[in-house]
Amino acid sequence: MNPKLRHGANFAAVTELWIVAAAVGLSMLKISLLPWAVLIAALYWPVRWIAEGHPSRRTPADLGIVLLALMLPVTLWATALPEKTTIQVYRLALGILFFYAVFNWGVLTRKLDWIVAGILLAGAGLAGMSVFSVTWTTTKMQFIPANIYQRFELLVADTVHPNVMGGNLALIAPIGAALLLYGWKTLKRWQNLSVAAVMLLISGMLILTQSRGALIAFGAALILLVLLRWPWGWVALLLTALTLGIAIYQIGADTALDFIASGVSVAGLENREEIWSRAIYMIQDFPFTGIGMGSFMEVADLLYPFFLAAPGSIVHAHNLILQIAVDLGIPGLIAWLSIYLSVCFASWRLYRFGMRRTDRRAAALGAGFLGSQVALLTHGMMDAVTWGMIRPAPLVWGLWGTVIAAWMLFKVEN
């Protein structure tokens, strides 16, 4: 092969993460840029082939990703609303390409710390953007003074729901928390202060979203981090469970569940159960193809009308697992779950490796990544704001690519 061509491809491969990440960010700001972002990310596959002799390094998640990608033309065929589904397909394709961009760049450059820093900065950026982009809810948690929100002024027309912002912040927060819990002795003073400042910003905005699902998800991740960090973590878990049990007993199980399940668009547990039942009906009727990504509201209103919600008010299944199965059928759900389990397994192996070798950096990253996956699934029990219809959905894939890259790097280096 022409040495100049390979040299140019090698140079281009080093720029992959920066270019693709910028494309992902711009596509979040303007939906019309989604096809261009997908094209830019896809062009790096032949670049890698020229530079390294293969379009991508292999990962444990490859089979699941291939199966998920095969469902994209199926969902375009099955949908009754191609104008909506096409956008979701572009976003999912961009997420998959972002996964491979992060993974390949991380393994190629071995600059894992840069990627982790980028994730935390992305979290800080989201938290900062929430000041002028979130339509705040001020009535869910009475202990938060309402006058705080009066200082925030909306500066964008396309606003963000607080549950969407909270759900995405809850994915990033466990990584910063793990670095402080596990790796503070290995980090320099300025690094500890920087991570602490980012965590203060993210956790503060997470609380202000008043997203109970996101707060519960972050709480579950913190419990996991404590369990993994200290031998007495089980005591903390038992005390937490006992405290919650007493609180639920005092206020009543039905009241507690309604408090957790209620939201701006969902009145309570009964309303949420009705939504879940409609999602199950859809899965039963379209088990192999799904209904088409992004068409939940229209299909529900037409074929499975709600009794407790007005037409046009419920846009998704309010459950991550159900939403994926509704969109892509059971084959799509199986593919997604296989990817998720691969990421969890890689996170666990990285944590165990760090603990065996007394490598606090590896243990911190492994625990943080695992906590992030716990937060993803916990929050997904009540919402689906990390899936295709939400603009920041590709960020989950970037995080997954970081997890696999970290595990591969530590495995190769040792």
Q: Is 388 exposed, middle or buried (0-12, 13-18, 19+ CB in 10 A)?
A: buried
- Percent of the chain exceeding pLDDT 90 equals 65
pLDDT, mean of residues 108-122: 92
31-67 CB burial, b ≥16 within 10 A, e <16 = eebbeebbebbeebeebbebbbeeebbebbbeebbeb
**In the chain, where the domains are located:** 60-413
Whether 265 has a pLDDT exceeding 70, the answer reads no
pLDDT, mean of residues 292-317: 93
With vertex at residue 286, the alpha carbon angle to CA 282 and CA 290, rounded to the nearest 5 degrees, is 90
Please tell me the predicted confidence (pLDDT) of residue 385.
86
Please tell me the predicted confidence (pLDDT) of residue 371.
98
Whether 262 has a pLDDT exceeding 60, the answer reads no
Give the long-range contacts of residues 152-160, CB within 8 A, separation 24 or more: 156/132, 159/133, 159/134, 159/135, 160/129, 160/130, 160/133, 160/134, 160/135
pLDDT, mean of residues 145-163: 83
Banded model confidence at residue 251, pLDDT cuts 50, 70, 90 = confident
Q: What is the pLDDT of residues 381-405, one digit of tens each?
A: 989 888 888 888 999 999 999 999 9
Whether 259 has a pLDDT exceeding 70, the answer reads no
Whether 325 has a pLDDT exceeding 90, the answer reads yes
Q: What is the pLDDT of residues 7-61, one digit of tens each?
A: 788 888 999 999 999 999 999 989 999 999 999 999 999 999 999 889 999 999 9
Q: What is the pLDDT of residues 345-384, one digit of tens each?
A: 999 999 999 999 888 999 999 999 999 999 999 999 989 8
**How many CB atoms are located within 10 Å of the residue 393 CB?**
23
Judge whether 135 and 159 are in contact, CB under 8 Å. Answer: yes
Please tell me the predicted confidence (pLDDT) of residue 148.
84
Which residue from 265, 281, 384, 276 is spatially nearest to 313, judged by alpha carbons? 265
Judge whether 91 and 10 are in contact, CB under 8 Å. Answer: no
Banded model confidence at residue 326, pLDDT cuts 50, 70, 90 = very high
